[in-house]
A and B are shown apart, each in its own frame.
Chain A
Amino acid sequence: MESIADRLMLLLILSDLALLGTRQLRRVILIAGLQGILVGALALASHPGSLTARALWLAALGLGMRGLLFPWLLRMVARRTDADSLDQRLQPYVGYGTSLLLGIAMLAGAMALGARLPLPASTPSGLVVPGALFTMFTGLFLVIARRKALRQCLGYVILENGIYGFGVAAVGEVPALVELGALLDLFLAVLVMGVAIYRITEEFDHMDTEKLDLLRG
């Protein structure tokens, strides 16, 4: 391991594996928050020679939102919907052990894909594409393989972490307006999903998406 970016990407990959095998909702939220801090730090570590004040405050904003605000928001939704106790009763579509095994296969796939994708020479780490793709796959897998709406929302946040990690490391600077717009959209998406989960729990008395099957055909 040579650069900080390499180490951060490695930690990101480890956090994905942890997310796939973790049963407790509280821990999943915590790990998703830590991932937010990791990709925020990646933004700072990726291009250390060209750090501007603008890049600094944008990275800080992203880090604060992904690392602190989202975990707080999702914890609040979990508390209000009594998600912790519900979590004990709801088994996911794919078990945690199997998820972990599938995760290793996804990692191998991400490595193979990453090797085929030529990136600009300025990319700080060879692990950027595999790490970002694996995080995206993990997020998508959680959206599909988990039954509870809150866990699916967390899957979306993790998917976004992967995309953000790829963006900051492989693309470098995108216009501040675009980055702010994307952050605002992400914030609104998590907020809308949080409110939706709250309303679904109120109406259905559960947030088991398997039982959201009134609309068919």
Chain B
Amino acid sequence: MDSSLLIWAALLTPLAGALLVLLARSPRTALRLSSAAGLASCVLAAALGVAGFEPILPSAAGGWLRVDALSAAHLLLLALVGGTSSAFALVYFGDEIDRGRLTPRQARVFGSLWCGAFFALTLLLVSNNLGIMWVGMEATTLLTAFLIALHVSRESLEAMWKYVLICSVGVAFAFMGTLLTAAAAPAAGAPQALSWTGLLADASRLDPNLMRAAFVFLLVGYGTKVGLAPMHNWLPDAHSQAPSPVSALFSGFMLNSALYCILRYLPVADRATGGGGWPRELLLGFGLLSLAVGAVFILFQRDAKRLLAYCSVEHLGLVAIGVGLGGFGTVAALVHSLNHSLAKILAFWSVGRLGQAFGSHDVARMSGAFRASTVWGVGLLASLVALTGAAPFATFLSELSVLRAAFGRGIVFALVLASLALAFVGLLRHTIRLAWGPSEVEPRRLDDGRLDRALVAVTLLALLGLGFGWPQPLLHVAESAARVVNGEATLAAGGLR
């Protein structure tokens, strides 16, 4: 297929799916339609992601839409997280339909907003215009807000309000940053003023003071959506109250997509401010704080989904640290964001399914997960151990690589090591309790189907496989994307293969 056609197909398929779902009468039809549209969108996103590594980059709409290695790597991640979570939605909501807990209206709302979120995420990834990228980011907030309160309760409404308000204010700051970037351009006011390729080519001519101010606004604004501390307050509430497929999409990709927006600006801001690495240092500072905050809060969590949310703050902090270190650190960070997403989607699926069996996400009530389901018990145990960063899982290798990148910087290295150790202890304690601890309630035994087994097995195998080395195609994707983030900087020789 022609690459420009592929971009349009990747954008319009989820949009068509969102409209089609609204016509469904029964909840099961709506669910099947939304999952089918989600899967189709992800297949197209994957195809577009692969095309992004061809010698001629896909582009459309006169250069407004463009896919390079960085967006292609994220499109592949979207395809992975979105595709598998669409399949998981069939399992999760199928159970709710069986028990009469999902009305036709709720199923239509879910399907429509789920596909709408895929459209917004794809739009922000394929946009070469930083203004349109911002529009896509804000649209993801608004489209996913009602997904948090799909099952209306006091808790879910509270989480939804905090999410909408904090993220909208944050993303408004990012808009101010976008406008300041446009004002910093020598061609301010010209139609190409917000074109990323144009800005990168002209980066050395941007006003350094305005660009500094712009980057601060952008980092705080998009950083709010990433869940970087201290702007992370919305994240535990939203992740814990959303239905599990939505939590998986939030944690497995939406946070990464917000970080992607920051990564887009890094090479521009770096060049504009003299190439001394000032924007990276700022990102590194936020990363260190997030890693430490996430690690400390993991210790005190009582709700399994809130625990996973703080785990996201910790891991996204680590990714920010890797990017902040630059060079090989960026490659390690990009691989770690894939590994974190794999572990996190499996963890949210498992907690979601087991939560359906126990009727709660409370750690004390959910303890002894294997009594509800062997398949999801294995999924929970393996994903939580992977999230601790233990061998032989993929996260061990990527955490080690970020640490290796930080080795030359004494204090950073020590802080990362101490925070990771704290998170390891905290998470392992919860893991043992969740897997084998005594439970306060007798769970309903889950009927694990073929799809349940396939989802757990495939994700687990990927987590294990990537723990023994990074295959050449993955390394190629990460290195190519890192080159974009590093502004064509020479990467450190070697790498873990």
How many angstroms between the C-alpha atoms of A76 and B303 in the bound complex?
A: 38
Contact (Cβ within 8 A) B189 A173: yes
- Docked Cα-Cα span, A199 to B210, in Å, equals 41
Q: Is the CB of A166 within 8 A of B157?
A: no
Task: Say yes or no for B242: interface residue by CB 8 A criterion.
Answer: no
A204 within 8 A of B: yes
A214 at interface by CB-CB < 8 Å: yes
Interface flags for B416-451 (1: CB within 8 Å of A; 0: not) read: 000000000000000000000000000000000000
Stretch at the interface among B174-182, B329-337, B480-488: B174-182
**Which candidate, A14-22, A23-31, A176-184, is the interface stretch facing chain B?**
A176-184
| CB-based contact B132/A181 at 8 Å | yes
CB-CB under 8 A for A167 and B179, given A174-B194, A175-B191, A188-B142: yes
Interface string of B119-148 (1 = CB under 8 A from A): 000000000010110110011011001100
Chain B: minimal CB distance from A207 (Å): 9
The residue among A178, A181, A182 with the most chain B CB atoms within 10 A of its own CB is: A178
Residues A163 and B169 in contact, CB atoms below 8 Å apart: no
Q: Least Cβ distance of A109 to chain B in Å?
A: 14
**Does A91 reach chain B (CB closer than 8 Å)?**
no
Kindly state whether residue A38 has any CB partner on chain B within 8 Å. Answer: no
Q: Is B213 an interface residue (CB 8 A)?
A: yes
Which residues 104-162 of A sit at the B interface, judged by CB distance below 8 A?
116-120, 122, 136, 140, 143, 149, 152-153, 156, 159-160
- The distance from the CB of B492 to the nearest CB of chain A, in whole angstroms, is 37
A213 to B233, CA, bound (A): 13
Asked if A92 lies at the interface with its beta carbon under 8 angstroms from chain B, I say no
CB-CB under 8 A for A196 and B131, given A188-B142, A189-B138: no
Q: Counting CB contacts under 8 A, is A192 at the interface? A: yes
Query: Out of A116, A120, A149, A171, which one reaches B161, CB within 8 Å?
Result: A149
The contact of B172 among A118, A120, A163, A172, by CB within 8 Å, is: A163
* A182 contacts B134, C-beta separation under 8 Å: yes
**Contact between B189 and A196, CB atoms less than 8 A apart:** no
Contact A182 B175 (CB under 8 A): yes
CA distance A213 to B194 in the complex (A): 41
A120 near B183: Cβ-Cβ < 8 Å: yes
State how many angstroms separate the Cβ of A66 from the closest Cβ of chain B. 14
Cβ contact within 8 Å between B188 and A192: no
| Bound-state Cα–Cα, A91 to B154, Å | 23
B209 touches A117 (CB 8 A): yes
List chain B residues, Cβ under 8 A from A182: 131, 134-135, 138, 175
Query: Given contacts A117-B213, A118-B207, A189-B142, is CB(A217)–CB(B301) below 8 Å?
Result: yes
Contacts of B148-182 to chain A: CB distance below 8 A: 149, 152-155, 157-162, 164-165, 168-169, 172, 175-176, 179, 182
Contact in complex: A174, B164 (CB < 8 Å)? no
- Which B-chain residue is minimally distant from A201 (CB atoms)? B157
Within 8 A of A (CB), among B187-246: 188-191, 193-194, 207, 209-210, 213, 236-237, 240-241
Residue of B nearest to A193 (CB): B164
CB contacts (< 8 Å) of B134 on chain A: these are 178, 182
Q: Which residues of A contact B138 (CB under 8 A)?
A: 182, 185, 189
A215 B240 Cβ-Cβ under 8 A? yes
CA distance A49 to B419 in the complex (A): 58
Given the interface contacts A140-B169, A178-B135, A192-B146, does A214 sit within 8 Å of B179 by beta carbon?
A: no
Residues of B contacting A122 with CB < 8 Å? 188-189
Chain B residues near A152 (CB-CB < 8 A): 165
Any A CB within 8 A of the CB of B476: no
Question: Which residues on the B side are within 8 Å of A101 (C-beta)?
Answer: none
Closest Cβ of chain B to A200, distance in Å, is 5
A212 in contact with B158 (CB, 8 Å): yes
B302 at the interface (CB under 8 A from A): yes
Whether a CB of chain A sits under 8 angstroms from the CB of B271 is no
Contacts of B210 in A (CB 8 A): 117-119
Alpha-carbon distance A175/B134, docked complex (angstroms): 13
Contact of A143 with B189 at beta-carbon distance under 8 Å, contacts A181-B132, A217-B300 already known = no
Partner of B183, one of A119, A193, A204: A119
CA distance A203 to B146 in the complex (A): 15
Chain A residue with minimal CB distance to B240? A215
**A85 CB within 8 Å of chain B:** no
Give every chain A residue within 8 A of B132 (Cβ-Cβ).
177-178, 181
Please name all residues of chain B whose beta carbon is closer than 8 Å to the beta carbon of A209 when the two chains form the complex: 161
Which residues on B sit within 8 Å (CB–CB) of A172?
Answer: 188-189
Residues of the B chain whose Cβ atoms lie less than 8 Å from the Cβ of A37: none
Q: Which residue of B lies closest to A190 (CB)?
A: B168
A178 touches B169 (CB 8 A): no
A5 at the interface (CB under 8 A from B): no
| A170: Cβ under 8 A from any B Cβ | yes
B135:A203 contact, CB within 8 angstroms: no
Nearest opposing residue in chain B for A199, CB measure: B157
CA distance A149 to B161 in the complex (A): 9
Contacts of A188 in B (CB 8 A): 139, 142
Q: How far is the CB of B186 from chain A (nearest CB, A)?
A: 9
Bound-state Cα–Cα, A100 to B125, Å: 43
B28 at the interface (CB under 8 A from A): no
Are B176 and A143 in contact (CB-based, < 8 A)?
Answer: no
| Interface check B315, CB cutoff 8 A | no
Q: Which of B142, B194, B236 contacts A178 (CB 8 A)?
A: B194
Q: Report yes or no: A199 in contact with B179, Cβ–Cβ below 8 A.
A: no
For the complex formed, measure the closest distance between the CB of B187 and the CB atoms of chain A, giving whole angstroms.
10
Are B157 and A156 in touch, CB under 8 angstroms? Answer: no
Whether a CB of chain A sits under 8 angstroms from the CB of B371 is no
**What 9 A-B pairs have minimum CB-CB distances, sorted nearest first?**
A178-B131, A172-B189, A181-B135, A185-B138, A212-B158, A215-B237, A167-B179, A188-B142, A171-B182
24 contacts between A and B (CB under 8 A): A118-B207, A156-B165, A159-B172, A171-B183, A171-B188, A172-B188, A177-B131, A178-B134, A182-B135, A182-B138, A185-B135, A185-B138, A189-B168, A192-B145, A193-B164, A196-B157, A212-B158, A213-B158, A214-B154, A215-B159, A215-B236, A217-B236, A217-B300, A217-B301
- With A156-B169, A192-B145 given, can you name 4 additional A-B contacts, CB distance below 8 Å? A149-B161, A163-B175, A178-B135, A217-B302
